[in-house]
Amino acid sequence: MSLKENHTKLIKKTAALLGFDYCGISKAVFLEEDARRLENWLNKGYNGKMQYMDNYFDLRTNPTLLVPGAKSVITLLKNYFPSEKQQNDNPKIAKYAYGKDYHEVIREILKHFLSQLELEIGEINGRGFVDSAPVLERAWAVKSGLGWIGKNGNLITKTSGSFYFIATLIVDIELAYDDPYTKDYCGSCNKCINACPTNAILPNKVIDGSKCISYFTIELKDALINEDMKGKFDNWMFGCDTCQDVCPWNRFSQPNTEKAFTPIPAILNLSTTEWEAMTEDAFKEIFRHSPLKRSKFKGIQRNLKFLKQ
């Protein structure tokens, strides 16, 4: 077994020990096709008011600009599908936000991951990313053989669906690379397209981010939400899972085993009246480690008012 094969075996073993459900590895190359696709998406204004999507374009498509000398991109998936559901009729929250903020959780695991590799392999120049840097995680996941991009824009695994966080480690060592995922198992199914409350899912796996409920309830910082969206949010207060909930492949989803993702009781149980009565101090205390802090107290209150209109 060659040195890079040994290193690859070590990386995949370490990934499993650290609680990642999938690990795939790709050669660090310029993502030419994805660069064209991203440029076209931005030119059509599908990013709405998410101006940060316009920034660092070159970094998004070239890993060697993020990590000088990068040779390999390690893609990791971590399950977040919950074992519990929200109470019926309560303001709906996307499942990824039920527990502790995944940025905090996975970032710490990635730091430990790199430390472990340096102990076993030696000095490595590398960086870990989890949805907070200019990295095209889904593109790398496909190139690493982990799954395909569904019509809803999510990465889908054939064995267990799409309720996964995607993390990326870019390193300057050569490894044994996985074959890219070349099949598409969406077929003629259009359930996600038909179910989207705001018609944000367009043909050819294009998502109009400016129409997505997640965009309005999380990313949009305006004091008011567009009037033409009235009555279309299907009671989603933070994020939206509609396109994943209707996906047939998610019938294979299994509850995660990460303690940090254990649902915060308030998220499962609070009624609309209780959410409306919450003070800002209480919000900051209850959700200090939750993804909900991204919308802040004012954003949550704005979303609640919009749902009642």
Give the residue numbers annotated as catalytic, written as ranges: 131
* Structure-block tokens of residue 286: 């209850």
pLDDT of residue 34: 80
pLDDT, tens only, 171-219: 999 999 999 999 999 999 999 999 999 999 999 999 999 999 999 999 9
Beta strands in 81-239 (DSSP E): 92-93, 126-129, 148-149, 155-156, 164-171, 201-202, 206-207, 236-238
- What is the percent of the chain where pLDDT is above 90? 83
Count of the separate structural domains present in the chain: 1
Which residues contact residue 273 at a Cβ distance below 8 angstroms, ignoring those fewer than 6 apart?
A: none
CA 50, CA 294: separation in Å to the nearest integer? 14
pLDDT of residue 38: 79
**β-sheet bridge partners, residue 166:** 77
Name the pLDDT band for 56 (thresholds 50, 70, 90): low
pLDDT of residue 285: 97
pLDDT of residue 190: 98
> Which domain range does residue 113 map to?
1-309
Question: pLDDT averaged over the chain?
Answer: 94
pLDDT of residue 167: 97
Q: What is the pTM of this model?
A: 0.94
pLDDT of residue 32: 84
pLDDT, tens only, 124-175: 999 999 986 668 999 999 999 999 999 999 999 999 999 999 999 999 999 9
Name the pLDDT band for 60 (thresholds 50, 70, 90): confident
Check pLDDT > 70 for residue 54. no
